[in-house]
Amino acid sequence: MTNKSPQYLNRELSWLEFNQRVLDEALDPSVPVMERLKFLAISASNLDEFFRVRVGGLSMLQEQGITHPDPSGLSPGQQLQMIDARVRELQRNQYACYFDDLAPQLAKKGVQSVPPKHLSEAQLSFLERYFESEIFSVLAPMAVTDRNDFPLLPNESLSVCVRIKSETDVPANGTSPSEDTEDDRFAIIPLGGTLSRFITLPSDGGLAYLLLEDAIAMFVHRFFESERVVECVPFRVTRNADVALQEEGAADLTAEMEDLLRERRGAECVRLETSTSISPITVHFLLDALGIGKTELFKHPGPLDLGGLFSLATRPGFDDLKDDSWTPQRSTQIADGSTMFEAIASRDLLLYHPYESFEPVVNFIEEAADDPDVLAIKQTLYRTSRDSRIVASLIRAAENGKHVTVIVELKARFDEARNIRWARTLEEAGAQVIYGVKKLKTHAKCCIVVRREPDGIRRYVHFGTGNYNESTARLYSDVSLLTCDDELGADAVAFFNAATGASQPQNFRKLEAAPIGLRDAILELIGSEIERKRQGQNARITVKLNALVDPRVIDALYAASQAGVKVRLNIRGICCLRPGVPGLSENIEVVRIIDRFLEHARIISFHQGGQPRVFLSSADWMPRNLDKRIELLVPVEDPECSERLLQFIDRYFLDNVKATLLQPDGTQIRRTQSEGEPYRVQEELYQMVCESVRAEDQKRLTEFVPHRAPGT
């Protein structure tokens, strides 16, 4: 990776290196084969989003004639050229992984994609019936005569393009029609989302399947009985999703968002994927119909949409080909039989998901909805699950007469439609719904419950690094803090009321918020470590984030390194900081962990001369988070909670199984076990939590708890 500037790495190329690291898990023979298939699918889905958002945005800049370089010194056009080369290499690696490694391994284990020419008589007979009863009944071809009647296909959905000749065009001698005839016509068959991509075939054991597009190609003549089909090839269109929302003057943000979703469906094509077998005639037709050039064309040797393999990798069964289950553990901080209010009132609770269950957070909101002493619930919602118990609880709370205020972020990319539906349902139940904040995304994770108790009003607060999503809470590594600390409660209420009331919050007592002062707080904390180092004290900065992009923060970390401060960074994805550069960043280490759980927690620690200040945050250190989003930086002050969080974060820098080290040029090398005994941090964290549960259970077995008569 070569850039004009020696100081920063390019964010797009850094992200592509992260995605290569995801693909590396699919290439790792020590990973169970179904998990490898899942990582391959994730790397493909990641790439889809990269095209929708990042490539789409850069393409718009290039079309507008913008040549201003990014912090790494690259113009939009230069970035697109470098992205194109790296993406094509990445996709070659993906298909090599599938064909040369995973498909043969799966076939040996009884999971086999059957090519049409290898179908048995029984399978062919089944497929003929399946085609007639389902495929032929559901799908419908759409004739295309020119660009104007080319169908508006759903973004990233599969379709097949059919090239047809009338039977009257077939030479009388029976020879094949000319490839370059002008009498060809075309039809598009969108595959839609109702039919399974993987058609299960009869087999003696295991799983035999045929791809839907292959089944269509086998029987496509049934759609065109009086004509001759000369070509049937799959293709897939990716459209630009980086379409701006024009909030100024929008009287109804919901309607404006719905307009944006419609606009996104018809946005410019940024990528056309198709089979390597496609003819030049059909390529020309598709490129012309979509109004794009060959630079947007990507030909693949195998099944399109490798992301679709995720449904195959996660289907029930074949447990011997998957990771052992790591069941989320109960929190030993919460006594059996106690309500969440009793548990939080007795102590601050710190939960590390998914090693520890997300259930206490859900229970907290469910109990609040039904508790007659709860007066109000205030909550932010950014991304939620489809059948969200949390949203159902908020609806029930409103119906129970509680004052429910919810900030539903309609601008949460790719969750807009779901959030619109939830917002309307909440409003119908009587909740006060705020559709985000104008020109900003509300990305903070906060829930406040106001409860009347014998000694007065008490505020219970949940802060988190992840979304209120019960489904992803089993897959993402995140932190929850539940507290009834008076000052944090007061800050949370001030933050929430400012966000809903369109006002500037007063000075917080403990919290820091973006876009008001979060960056300044970070810079001040980094500066404090630098000053302590200059005074001869121990100084260390430890950070766990998803992304590090902001130039001002990176410069501050460079200054800390130059002052001799030890800086440890665990950055899952994009990192524009160059570690290990002499005279610039030789005291900075950047570790990346890719494993079975998605690393999503944002945790920050400053050594502070031996009195560490520990924070959790909703924000990555990116300009968009610090300038264009509403985010929170939350201190973890309870000694047990902060010590526990430090134990968690320190372990990430011991991993020598799933860790890679970022190099000054932006490449990454795998940390090997030659540096010590095998240490896999996610496994260690899970075992640590399991051990605490076992110890608690053992303690209960050795305690003598007398039965008491009622009333004594």
pLDDT in tens, 354-363: 999 999 999 9
Rounded Cα distance, 157 and 235, in Å: 9
Question: Mean pLDDT throughout 611-626?
Answer: 96
Two structure tokens written together for 94: 């993906």
Q: What is the mean pLDDT of the chain?
A: 89
Contacts of 54 (CB under 8 A, 6+ apart): 12, 15, 83, 242
- Choose the catalytic residue: 300, 353, 443, 600: 443
CB-CB neighbours of 427 under 10 Å: 15
CB-CB neighbours of 298 under 10 Å: 17
Question: Mean pLDDT throughout 166-190?
Answer: 63
Rounded Cα distance, 418 and 255, in Å: 14
Question: Mean pLDDT throughout 20-29?
Answer: 96
Between the CA of residue 435 and those of 136, 282, 446, 496, what are the distances in Å?
43, 45, 16, 13
pLDDT in the model for residue 531: 97
Among residues of the chain, what percentage have pLDDT more than 90? 73
Of 229 and 169, the one with more pLDDT: 229
Rounded Cα distance, 526 and 219, in Å: 65
pLDDT in the model for residue 704: 63
Q: Please determine, for residue 174, whether its predicted confidence score (pLDDT) is greater than 80.
A: no
Rounded Cα distance, 440 and 437, in Å: 5
The per-residue pLDDT for range 557-607, each reduced to its tens digit, is 999 999 999 999 999 999 999 999 999 999 999 999 999 999 999 999 999
Rounded Cα distance, 405 and 503, in Å: 16
Rounded Cα distance, 667 and 585, in Å: 16
188's enclosing H/E stretch is strand 185-190
Q: Is 366 helix (H, G, I), strand (E, B) or coil?
A: helix
Rounded Cα distance, 602 and 633, in Å: 9
Q: Please determine, for residue 19, whether its predicted confidence score (pLDDT) is greater than 50.
A: yes
Burial class (CB in 10 A: 0-12, 13-18, 19+), 609: middle
β-partners of residue 408 are 381
pLDDT in the model for residue 78: 94
The per-residue pLDDT for range 53-67, each reduced to its tens digit, is 889 888 888 888 889
Q: Please determine, for residue 323, whether its predicted confidence score (pLDDT) is greater than 80.
A: yes
Catalytic, 443? Answer yes
pLDDT in the model for residue 251: 45
pLDDT in the model for residue 684: 97
Written as one string, the DSSP assignment of 443-459 is ---EEEEEEEETTEEEE
Q: Please determine, for residue 536, whether its predicted confidence score (pLDDT) is greater than 90.
A: yes
Tell me the domains of the chain and their CATH numbers: 1-109 (1.20.58.310), 115-169+180-315 (3.30.1840.10), 340-507 (3.30.870.10), 513-694 (3.30.870.10)
Two structure tokens written together for 74: 């690259």
